[in-house]
Amino acid sequence: MRKYLIQRFFFGILSLIAATLIVFVLSRAQGDPLLLYAKPGGYGVSPEQIAALEEKLALDRPLIVQYLIWLGRVVRGDMGETLLSERPVSDVIGEKLGATMQLGLLAWIFATLVGVPLGVLSAVKRGSVWDYLGRAFALFGQAAPVFFLGILGILLFGVQLGWLPAGLRPVQDPFWPSQAKALVMPTIALGWLPAAVYLRLTRSAMLEVLDSEYVKLARAKGASGRAVIWRHALRNALIPPITVSALVLVGFLEGSVVVEAVFAWPGIGRMAVESIHNNDFPLLTGIILMFAVLYVVGSFVADVAYTIVDPRIRYDQS
Amino acid sequence: MTEQTAPDSTSQSEPIDEHSQSTLMASQVIGIQEQTFSHKFWYVLRRWPILPMLVLFVMVIAAVFAPLLSPTGPRDINLRGRAAPPVWQSDWYEANPNNEQTYLLGADHVGRDVLTRMLYGARISLMVAVISLSVGVVIGSAVGLVAGYYGGWIDEFAMRTVDVWNALPFLLIAILAAVTFGQSVSIVMILLALVAWAGGVRNVRAEVLTLKTRDYISLARIAGASDFRIIMRHILPGVVNTIVVLATLRVGGLILAEASLSFLGAGIPAATPTWGNMISEGREWLSTAWWIAVFPGFAILLVVMSVNFFGDWLRDRWDPKLRQL
């Protein structure tokens, strides 16, 4: 186990380096980042200021040296300053993180609360209305583009019915009901796909488990139907959904980019797209680093959780 | 157990109507079932992916013959038909007699026919998905075959590369690449191929690992076959099923990825009609002309649903081991 953990850690670091290096190279190929300072109309920065900025950002050095300088600073906990607002990257990310986390967490709760029970239900009552309902829900969730779900929602509940606000979270409003209402549609748009994934995995795992010997034994011993399903069968059927949770997490990060664009949500995803268009590379690299760290940590936790929920799994033998 | 290929038992337990009861005994003995037409119809419909195939067939035909099917071009504007609603909202057409064009699914803000643009959009979307998928699948399968066959450090290296690759936040990198290199169809295809290749490597490799220990492979080697020949002639045919199933299950994801990129303004250039671009454009007229964005959205939904359904069916038939995917 320890060897496995060390190996995982090492390759996790490698993933982070690969992700940030790609961003570094691409953003530099995009053009001179200092053009951000040159305002339209021909005024803006003097040659002295340019020189000072180049010095500060080490833009006059070879790319790989710039990357190593950046890496050295990050290791010491300094992600640099954004080009646009000249504030520390970590502060800027920290401000927007809350909105994205809120959305991601709610979407995850939605996905779990809808996907898992519906998956159990459609496995237990196989061939019933519930099963077909669940399958339709999953089929739709896996095929509908996130942004289209958002737009349909806005059209139906925002424009036609007027039940829910079509976007922006009014910050000064009280949380209930105004802000809570604004959360409904983004949550569902972001959570539908993972709910579908959970549903399908739970359903197929549940079908398999319900067919196994120990469930039959539990039934033969006279355990009630409900106890067999929820206590005996579900525990093992939850293993596949738990193992994909890391991928679900990445899905949220990528999905948040789209959902935040649709609902004008003031989070990381929208800021990332803005930073790309502004060529604000310190900010963008910081965001990508954060995404990659979350993924690496998430998949690591999922792997470890896997060994805990299913002791049959050992990583050492392979 | 599986999702689509289970209905064999259901058709046998149908209630029997009275007049067929006399023949029931005989037909049961020789194993023939009395089936009405609707029984047969539903049986075939559930056993074979007829509907998804039909949808895909129609889409492909529509994409290929788009110029023949549509009277107008995808960029023909008609300012008299600005934001004309779909044809069934006839009161608009009566109120605007100056406009002599009829729009089956409405027109956008400069009077371009939504259906025509969807037909042309299908060309781009399907072409991008198919080409990038083919490239990705060829690369991914090659890596999986080589990694599984040679093992050792090659295997280790390939698998770790896949791991690192999967950790990259692709949507953001794709947007960055589109901004850096400019938007074009070929950039999108390259990006999607880069996403697609890593998906099936692990499964192909696992298949190869079991195949390569078989006796016939050893015999081929004794007979003097080269590594290349063994991989291509003796192992590849054994993993083709897996590859095809994996590829089919990925098409939908690629279509969605392309649409998302276009929607975010980092995919196919905005002047080109694609489904993602149309939704992105139509978003601004959502409250006044919903049809601009909604119909392309349903097109994506329908195609991806059909492809996924077909992929599920193929997987259950050809490679039930992949059921967890």
What is the DSSP secondary-structure string of chain A? -HHHHHHHHHHHHHHHHHHHHHHHHHHHHT--GGGGTS-TTS-S--HHHHHHHHHHHTTTS-HHHHHHHHHHHHHTT---B-TTT-SBHHHHHHHHHHHHHHHHHHHHHHHHHHHHHHHHHHHHTTTSHHHHHHHHHHHHHHHS-HHHHHHHHIIIIIIIS--S--S---TTS-IIIIIHHHHHHHHHHHHHHHHHHHHHHHHHHHHHHHTSHHHHHHHHTT--HHHIIIIIIHHHHTHHHHHTHHHHHHHHHHHHHHHHHHHT--SHHHHHHHHHHHT-HHHHHHHHHHHHHHHHHHHHHHHHHHHHH-TT--SS--
Which of A147, A207, A247 is the best substitution to test chain B (most B C-beta atoms within 10 A)? A147
- How deeply is B296 buried, as exposed, middle or buried, from its count of CB atoms within 10 A (0-12, 13-18, 19+)? buried
Please name the residue of chain B whose CA is at the shortest distance from the CA of residue A288: B169
What was the pLDDT predicted at B135? Answer: 93
**Nearest by CB: B179 against A127, A148, A276:** A276
Contact B286, A154 (CB under 8 A): yes
The per-residue pLDDT string of chain B (325 residues; one tens digit each, 9 = 90 and over) reads 344 444 444 444 444 444 444 445 554 555 555 567 778 777 777 778 888 888 889 888 888 887 887 777 777 777 777 777 787 777 777 777 777 777 777 777 777 888 888 888 888 888 888 999 999 999 999 999 999 999 888 988 888 888 888 878 888 888 888 878 888 888 889 989 988 888 888 889 988 988 888 899 989 999 999 999 999 999 998 888 888 888 888 888 888 888 888 888 888 887 788 888 888 888 888 778 888 888 989 989 999 989 888 888 888 888 776 665 5
Nearest-neighbour CA in chain B from A290: distance (Å): 10
**Are residues A148 and B279, on separate chains, in Cβ contact within 8 Å?**
yes
A172 has pLDDT over 70: no
- Residues of A (238-257) whose Cβ lies below 8 Å from B: 240, 250, 253-254, 257
**pTM of this structure:** 0.81
Beta-carbon separation of B286 and A19 below 8 A: no
To probe the interface with A, which of B176, B256, B264, B322 has the most A CB atoms within 10 Å?
Answer: B176
Q: Does B69 touch chain A (CB under 8 A)?
A: no
Selecting from A147, A257, A261 the residue whose C-beta is nearest the C-beta of B172 gives A257
Establish if A302 touches chain B: CB-CB under 8 angstroms.
no
What is the pLDDT at residue A171?
63
- What are the pLDDT digits (tens) for A242-253? 878 777 877 787
User: Measured between CB atoms, does A278 come within 8 Å of chain B?
Assistant: no
Contact check, Cβ <8 Å, B169/A127: no
| Mean pLDDT value across residues A251-280 | 83
Instruction: Please report, for residues A11, A22, A33, A82, A292, the alpha-carbon distance to residue A64 in angstroms, rounded to integers and kept in the order given.
Output: 21, 12, 16, 20, 20
Which of B160, B263, B305 is the closest to A139 by Cβ?
Answer: B305
Q: What is the pLDDT of residue B18?
A: 46
Tell which residue, A189, A298, A292, has the closest CA to residue A249.
Answer: A298
Q: What is the dihedral of CA B112, B116, B117, B120, to 10 degrees?
A: -150
The 10s digit of each residue's pLDDT in A178-235 is: 677 778 888 898 999 899 989 988 998 888 888 888 888 888 888 888 888 888 888 8
> What digits encode the pLDDT tens for the residues A6-35?
877 888 888 888 888 887 787 777 666 666
Q: Provide the number of CB pairs (under 8 Å) joining chain A to chain B.
A: 143
The minimum CA-CA distance between A170 and chain B, rounded to whole Å, is 21
A250 vs B contacts (CB less than 8 Å): 169
- B177 contacts on A by Cβ (under 8 Å): 26
Q: Mark which residues 170-229 of A lie under 8 Å from B by CB.
A: 201, 204, 207-208, 211
Contact A135 B3 (CB under 8 A): yes
Residues 287-306 of B with CB under 8 A from A: 287, 290, 293-294, 297, 300-302, 304-305
Mean pLDDT of chain A: 80
Instruction: State whether B170 and A276 contact (CB < 8 Å).
Output: no
Among partner residues A15, A22, A30, which is closest to B179 by beta-carbon distance?
Answer: A30
Answer whether A292 sits within 8 Å of B163, measured CB to CB.
Answer: no
Does this complex have an ipTM over 0.90? no
Given a cut of 90, whether residue A64 has pLDDT beyond it is no
Q: Which residues of chain B neighbour A260 with C-beta distances below 8 Å?
A: none
Mutate which of B175, B179, B305 to disrupt the A interface (most A C-beta within 10 Å)? B179
Residue A199: its pLDDT value, please?
92
What is the CA angle A211-A216-A217, rounded to 5? 145
Residue A286, pLDDT > 60, answer: yes
List the single residue in A with minimal CA-CA distance to B303: A143
Give the nearest chain B residue to A271 (CA atoms). B172
